[in-house]
Structure 1
Amino acid sequence: MTQKNMNASPFYNDFYFISDLDRTLIYSKRAIQESDPKYCKNLIPIEYKDGRVISYMNKDAYDKLQKLMQYEEFKFLPCTMRTLQQIQRISFIKDVKYYFTDGGINLYKKGTLCTSYGERLLSLFHHYSYDNGYSWAEEIEEVYFELTQKLGISDLEINRHFILPDTTLETLAFFDLRCPEILLTNDTKNMTKEDMITLETVVDILETYHINGCISGRKFYVFPDFLQKNCIFAFTGGLLYGVVAGDSIFDIPLLSMGNEKGLIPIAPKHGEVSGNLPITERSGPAAADDILTFVEQKFYM
């Protein structure tokens, strides 16, 4: 199927829609529970795990995305913090040609790893850290070891994200763990002695290295200071035309560089993103419909 009208962008053959997934296009049961009920209607199951539904999508948003994906010129590039196994649980992913996992560090084409992308990123990351006097790969491994040992965290409680230059090699890029409820509230007055020790231990460890830690959603992420989702533009190249969307602090560099590349940024109303950029009128799952309506308007211009 060919798009009928691209008069508004005569210098571009393709329209890119680069988007985060969780709390941007799809919503877990917890995210729905935390949303205004009036924005949680007209939902369809979008993700299954062990035979049960764990995530939903606004049906109008889903229908619009499916319609747009029929056009050759429409390039949908999901960019998520999820691993390959996690993203493949989403039903519409089977129809997506390219997608980025693990915060943009791995690129897949129809589920097959694009090794040249991983090799290029790994080389860039190594050069960056070596030029600044340290090895990011060694530091993230040391932080991982210290946190697991000093806090008594098992491997099963940590979700590790590896950059994959090929199918046989892997380098730990970052990791995340479920954040204790008390830390989510940032209520230091009511923290127990154990909570304070945990917080102080994490801070002390991170300050020793070129490693960052931050809370996003209900997870605590630990990652090298230069690692950002905008690394995906090593794949897309120069100026683009289209829309970029995201809701979390990890999407801010993606939205910012996307804007510099020619993409129009948009964020859901409920997100962690702030600043002078378009925000959806609605929050929760209905925000996905607002985003896809915005994408449609730009695509059909």
Structure 2
Amino acid sequence: MIFASDLDQTMIYSKRAFRLKEGTTEPSIRLIETYEGREISFMTSAAIELLKEVHEKMTFLPVTTRTIKQFQRITLFQEEIIPDMAVTSNGGNILVKGQADQDWQRLIRRKMNESSMSPEDLKMQFSELAHDNWILSERTADELFHYYIIDQAAAPLEELKDFEKAAAEAGWKMSLQGRKLYFVPMPVNKWDAVAHIKEKMGKTFVAAAGDSLLDLCMLEVADLPIAPLHGELNEAALGKTILRTENRGLLAAEDILKQVLAAYEKNKKICAS
């Protein structure tokens, strides 16, 4: 069994994303990521213990839009719960024992060249809509996809919806996640990377968790799809039954892990009967 999980706002949370109910006592938490002296990401101590159990019983596969370097900042996954494999860069990279799979990189580059408009041409088209009154900064992730930090309140949301359709016709997926506006080539997706690992490992059952539209391709085909009660998928995930958590924010990670462990025990009984 594989547990393929998105990280940010699914397993790990910044303090502003805790979303604890008013009057709730903050649970025991652990800092699992710092950057330039700043505290970035946390998990509850209970979620970490549950994740350790998951890691012991099945294949825990982190699946993140983070770049390789951003993933490596999470000390929990470098020092304590160390997965054999991880998917980074939204599926554009597969790490095996911490090293990028070169064969997978070559395959992704070839697919991008065959099916997606060049990044330069896409950015040129987007420049007609982009304006510095709402675009705050621009970044390229591992030379695979682009994202913009935006002022969402000032962004032309209707025009963006129209551009999303044009981007799709050009072989790119657009996803707005809070202050980040992503443009990702269609071949760079989480499920293709997970499916590759599933086949390589000879696994038959995948539980998957995620909160955003970039996770939807993974949840749509997983045997056990789970989404936090918060996130884009509350309204967007139509056409497939996706399990929800009881809690929003930080505590949703515990809900997800409990559901995954319950599925593992159920499958174990079925296989033993």
Q: Is the 8 A contact 1:17 1:242 kept in 2?
A: yes
Pick one of 63, 77, 86 that aligns with 2:70: 86
Q: Deviations over 1:227-263 (max 9, x none)?
A: 43222113322762141111111111110122xxxx2
Aligned to 1:286: 251
Say if 2:18 is the partner of 1:29: no
Pick one of 220, 245, 248 that aligns with 2:181.
220
Change (3 A) 1:181 1:137: closer
Equivalenced residue count is 250
Distance 1:156 1:277, change over 3 A: closer
Q: Say yes or no: does 1:236 pair with 2:198.
A: yes
Shift of 1:284: 0.9
> How does the TM-score come out when normalised to structure 1?
0.73
Q: For residues 101 and 107 of structure 1, what CA distance do their matches in structure 2 show?
A: 6
- Offset at residue 21 of structure 1 (A): 0.4
Report the secondary structure of 1:123's partner residue. helix
| Correspondent of 2:39 among 49, 53, 66 | 53
Task: Name the SS of the counterpart of 1:157 in structure 2.
Answer: strand
Kindly provide the CA deviation profile for residues 41-91 of structure 1, in whole angstroms up to 9, marking residues without a partner as x.
Answer: 2221111112332111121111111133234xx111111110111111112
2:145 and 2:183 in contact (8 A); partners too? yes
Flag structure 1 segments of 5+ consecutive residues without an equivalent. Answer: 1-14, 130-135, 163-171, 184-194
For 1:18, the equivalent position in structure 2 comes to 4
Question: Rg: which structure is higher?
Answer: 1
The one-letter code matched in structure 1 to 2:98 is G
Equivalent pair of 2:190/2:217 in contact (CA under 8 Å): yes
Contact 1:98 1:110 in 2 (8 A): yes
* Per-residue deviation, 1:271: 2.4
Alpha-carbon separation, structure 2, partners of 1:43 and 1:99:
24
Are 1:248 and 2:225 matched, yes or no?
no
Aligned counterparts of 2:56 and 2:150: Cα–Cα separation in 1: 40
- Which residue in the other structure is 1:181 paired with? 152
Runs of 4+ in 1 over 6 A off after TM superposition: none
Aligned partners of 1:241, 1:150: CA distance in 2, in Å? 43
**Change in CA separation of 1:60 and 1:78 when aligned onto 2, cut-off 3 Å:** same
Question: 1:12-161 maps to which residues of 2 (within 5 A)?
Answer: 15-32=1-18, 34-37=19-22, 38=24, 40-71=26-57, 74-94=58-78, 95-127=82-114, 129=115, 136=116, 138=118, 140-145=119-124, 147=126, 151=130, 157-161=137-141
C-alpha distance in structure 2 between counterparts of 1:299 and 1:18, whole Å = 13
Kindly state the Cα deviation for residue 104 of structure 1 after the two structures are TM-superposed.
0.9
C-alpha offsets along residues 260-300 of structure 1, whole Å, 9 cap, x if unaligned?
Answer: xxx21111111222442211111111010011111111223
Instruction: Work out whether residues 36 and 284 of structure 1, in 8 Å CA contact, stay in contact via their aligned partners in 2.
Output: no
Tell me if the contact between 1:39 and 1:286 (Cα under 8 Å) persists in the aligned partners: no
